[in-house]
Chain A
């Protein structure tokens, strides 16, 4: 009995330490699968696109987040309080136009999560204009503050999102001269008998 008890608790300890709870996402997104085995780059900026075409923006870097929100506060004259700015730093991402940013950040995290279900998303189009394309403004501001412009951008797009919606995001990045970025995908096995399978089997790295 004692031995079994020991094993049980050893396993328990292992799983407790190995568990990394899923980070809270503003919206539910079902990503398509790909054969890529690359890890997601560290400290990235994430653009989330849900199946209805709503765009959310998140940064995985606490210091940069603080700089970003204070610059946006100054530029857009939002008049955010220190508490609201702290809410942005602690939050997982935003999906509201600048006009609603102050009222959104004033909400508690639970209220924000509830609001995100109906949030309008960040306004986006295929132009590079900061007036109509607020995502372009977010991306430019964030790139300036994350790793001195070297930060990577990851797009987490729902597989069911229509192409014109993802095209808006890609064009926005293109206008910012970002032509290299990553899609976050699920993992899928390499089909046997294909060129990629042969390459992986020969031990060549990607």
Chain B
């Protein structure tokens, strides 16, 4: 039987080696530091346009062609866009393509649109209360990420009025026509 040898005799308590305890302490600290989730996920609020089957056509808000910008979200995170609401198939708008990126992307398109609307107001074409309105129409090939990125761009560029609306067959034709005109 081993006997514990107490050093120092009656003078005081035995000295304990603290190193393993400190090691363990730091090990646990490391563990908790890695498992802690400091940044909580955030919530992005969204207000969808009011939709009711009983709503009459003439009750709906009319958007002026000059103030509207339509974004068509499509496959491979592409964004097709054109000015106006594109309700006239016989007079197709100039559909262009852009992507979600910081430079030369969707953001510049939105900033330019805001400038254009400001100019039209100062020229007296639009009234002072008119604002840039963005219609977001995701097609079947787009993803949730595209939708959220598009909505986030609205917040980033302080677009006051925007709405997510269903894509129309006319818009789908615009996408097809643009794709056909620009084979990759």
Residues of A within 8 A of B140 (CB): 162-164
A189–chain B nearest beta-carbon distance, Å: 11
Q: Please name the residue on chain B nearest to A157 by beta carbon.
A: B144
Contact B51 A39 (CB under 8 A): no
Q: Please name the residue on chain B nearest to A21 by beta carbon.
A: B35
Given contacts A160-B145, A163-B144, A194-B107, contact A179 B50 (CB under 8 A): yes
The docked-state distance in angstroms from the alpha carbon of A115 to that of B37 is 27
Given contacts A39-B43, A163-B144, contact A5 B21 (CB under 8 A): yes
Contact A8 B42 (CB under 8 A): no
Q: Please name the residue on chain A nearest to B36 by beta carbon.
A: A19
Q: Please name the residue on chain B nearest to A192 by beta carbon.
A: B102
Q: Does B138 have its Cβ within 8 Å of any Cβ on chain A?
A: yes
The docked-state distance in angstroms from the alpha carbon of A157 to that of B19 is 48
CB neighbors of A among B11-59 (8 A): 18-19, 21-22, 25-26, 28-29, 32-33, 35-51
Contact B44 A15 (CB under 8 A): no
The digit string for A1-40, where 1 denotes a CB below 8 A from any CB of B, is: 1101100110110011011111000000001111111111
Contact B18 A179 (CB under 8 A): no
Contact B43 A40 (CB under 8 A): yes
B124–chain A nearest beta-carbon distance, Å: 25
| Number of A residues with CB within 8 Å of any CB on chain B | 59
A126–chain B nearest beta-carbon distance, Å: 10
Tell me which of B19, B48, B156 contacts A191 (CB under 8 A). B156
CB neighbors of A among B109-163 (8 A): 138-149, 151-152, 155-158
Residues of A within 8 A of B155 (CB): 34-36, 196
Given contacts A38-B44, A39-B42, contact A5 B22 (CB under 8 A): yes
Contact A183 B148 (CB under 8 A): yes
Given contacts A40-B42, A158-B144, A160-B145, contact A8 B26 (CB under 8 A): yes
A-B contact pairs, 8 of them (CB 8 A): A5-B18, A8-B29, A160-B143, A167-B138, A173-B48, A179-B51, A182-B45, A191-B156
Top 8 A-B pairs, shortest CB-CB distance: A159-B145, A15-B32, A195-B158, A8-B25, A182-B43, A36-B44, A179-B48, A32-B145
Q: What residues of chain B have their CB less than 8 Å away from a CB belonging to chain A?
A: 18-19, 21-22, 25-26, 28-29, 32-33, 35-51, 73, 102, 107, 138-149, 151-152, 155-158, 164
Q: What residues of chain A have their CB less than 8 Å away from a CB belonging to chain B?
A: 1-2, 4-5, 8-9, 11-12, 15-16, 18-22, 31-41, 49, 154, 157-167, 170, 173-174, 179-188, 190-191, 194-197, 199
Known pairs A2-B18, A159-B144. 18 more at Cβ < 8 A? A15-B29, A18-B36, A38-B42, A38-B43, A49-B144, A154-B43, A159-B143, A162-B142, A163-B142, A170-B164, A179-B47, A179-B48, A180-B46, A185-B41, A186-B41, A195-B156, A196-B156, A197-B156
